C-alpha cells in the first residue's frame, strides 16, 4: 500500500503520468517479493509527502509492468529513475537514503 501522494504506475499509464509530467518524476521500480524494496518504500513515501507539488512520485511493480521494465533495462530492484521533461535524468540501483534520492532529483 502506497502513501496518498504516490501514484501506482504501470505499462498503461506510464507515458501519460511519467513522460508527460510537467515536474520531475521519481519512479520506484519494485516487486512484492523484494525485501530491499520494502526497506526503500517508506523513504519514497516520505519524499512524495515532503515534495508534494514540486515532484511527482510513483511506484511500478516490475512483475505487473514488463513493458516499461524492459524499455528502461531494469535488471534489479529496487531501482529508482528520475524523469525530467520526459527524459531519464537520474538512476539509482539498490536501497539508498532520502538524501541520495533528493540529490538525484536535483531539487
37 is annotated as an active-site residue = yes
Mean pLDDT of the chain: 96
Query: In CATH, what number does 6-105 get?
Result: 3.40.30.10
Please give the pLDDT value at position 3: 73
Q: For residue 85, count other CB atoms closer than 10 A to its CB.
A: 12
Does pTM top 0.75 for this prediction? Answer: yes
pLDDT of 2 over the 60 cut: no
pLDDT in tens, 19-52: 999 999 999 999 999 999 999 999 999 999 999 9
User: Residue 1 pLDDT more than 50?
Assistant: no
Catalytic site residue from 6, 18, 37, 40: 37
Per the annotation, the verdict on 34 as an active-site residue is: yes
Strands 56-61 and 6-9: parallel
Amino acid at each position: 500500500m502506497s502513501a496518498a501522494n504516490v501514484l501506482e504506475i504501470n505499462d498503461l499509464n506510464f507515458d501519460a503520468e511519467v513522460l508527460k509530467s510537467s515536474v520531475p518524476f521519481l519512479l520506484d521500480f519494485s516487486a512484492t517479493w523484494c525485501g530491499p524494496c520494502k526497506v526503500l518504500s517508506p523513504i519514497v513515501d516520505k519524499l512524495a509527502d515532503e515534495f508534494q507539488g514540486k515532484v511527482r512520485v510513483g511506484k511500478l511493480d516490475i512483475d505487473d509492468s514488463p513493458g516499461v521494465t524492459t524499455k528502461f533495462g531494469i535488471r534489479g530492484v529496487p531501482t529508482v529513475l528520475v524523469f525530467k521533461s520526459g527524459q531519464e535524468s537520474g538512476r539509482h540501483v539498490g536501497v539508498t537514503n532520502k538524501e541520495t534520492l533528493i540529490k538525484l532529483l536535483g531539487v
